[in-house]
Structure 1
Amino acid sequence: MGYQEKKQIVLDELEKSLGAVKEEEVEQFVDMICDAQQVFVVGVGRVLLMLQAFAKRLNHLGIKANYVGAIDEPAITEHDVLVVGSGSGESVVPLEIMKIAKKYNAKIVHIGSNEHSSMKEYEDLFVRIPCSTKLGLEDEVKSEQVMSSLFEQSLLLLEDSVASMIVEKKQIEDVHALWKMHANLE
């Protein structure tokens, strides 16, 4: 199979996975982000990279966002939101970070596939992207891609959709003006 066929597989799978996300969960997610003083993100591996991209985008939108473990990471408080990315919901480091965030009464959003994970008792909101995970749950969107690529792609595109919803909610009319928030030491 060549590029065109592989590209179509990716696009078809993304349509299925993102099409299965519940709009009301995403709307709640947007509200939580907009109501927070700060947003923190945590995940591992490629999921963390997708979340770091989201934190960067939130900063472009004027929302203070950080990733857990950054050298300049501030303290989390009850006015903040922790966004956790974990398809399986069983990733050890994000789970432990959730427990700590709960001690500080932060709100927690878990974006994942497994709605019955170990993270369930700590999350205030679960946004489900029903993609294939290492657990191989029956109701997951099956993928022909490598490992958890579909989840990571879906996560990034979900976050970009959320960013667009935030622009609308905050009534940012001049999106070109957002470039002033973009890094300029490049």
Structure 2
Amino acid sequence: MTYETARSLVIEECSTALAKVDEKDVNQLIDMILHADKIFLIGVGRVKLELEAFAKRLVHLGIKAHMVGDITEPAMTDRDILIVGSGSGESLIPVAIAKKAKQIGGKIVHIGSNPQSSLSPVTDLMVRIPVQTKLYLADEITSKQPMSSLFEQSLLLLCDTVAAMIVNDKHIELKKLWHYHANLE
């Protein structure tokens, strides 16, 4: 496969996947983020990396965001939300953490592909990216990429889309965001 062919494949698959995300769910996610005291995020593997990038961007926007398990993670309260990234919704640690967050009274957002997952009983909002997971559900968008690459790519792009929408909604001047950026580099 040539670079051009592979590039086209990845971009077209991401475009197809993101076009299937329900805009009202994205708007509800943004509303939840903007009205929460703190945002907690959890995922495993490559999904965790995408959510770490989102947490960093939220901090750049002046929003308190924390990865679950980080040494500086504060206590969760009933005024906070937990965003769980999991294509299948069956990853053991995120499911267990979501159940604990629900017991605390936090709101749970699942960004994933499987609406009938083990997360669904505790989820307040699901933002569905209906792409191929390890479950190979009938209504998932198939991918020619390895494993769950399409979900992870779409998750990152969705989160960057959400950040851009927050910037617009809050009328944030982009130049002013640099004061939130790390400066010990």
- CA shift for structure 1 position 117: 0.5
Letter in 1 for 2:3: Y
Letter in 1 for 2:83: V
Match in the other structure for 1:165: 165
Which consecutive residues of structure 2, in runs of 5 or more, have no partner in the other structure? none
Match in the other structure for 1:176: 175
Which consecutive residues of structure 1, in runs of 5 or more, have no partner in the other structure? none
Letter in 2 for 1:55: A
Q: Distance in 2 between matches of 1:46 and 1:71?
A: 20
- CA shift for structure 1 position 9: 0.4
SS in 1 for 2:139: coil
Residue identity over aligned pairs, in percent, reads 57
- CA shift for structure 1 position 170: 1.5
Letter in 2 for 1:124: D
Match in the other structure for 2:53: 53
The alignment's TM-score, normalised by the length of structure 1, stands at 0.98
Match in the other structure for 1:80: 80
The alignment's TM-score, normalised by the length of structure 2, stands at 0.99
RMSD: 0.6
SS in 1 for 2:37: coil
Q: Deviations over 1:140-177 (max 9, x none)?
A: 110011110000000000000000111122221x1111
Q: Deviations over 1:77-125 (max 9, x none)?
A: 0010100000001000000000110111001100000011110000000
Q: Which runs of 4+ in 1 moved over 3 A?
A: none
Match in the other structure for 1:125: 125
Q: Distance in 2 between matches of 1:110 and 1:171?
A: 27
Letter in 2 for 1:125: L
Q: Distance in 2 between matches of 1:17 and 1:11?
A: 10
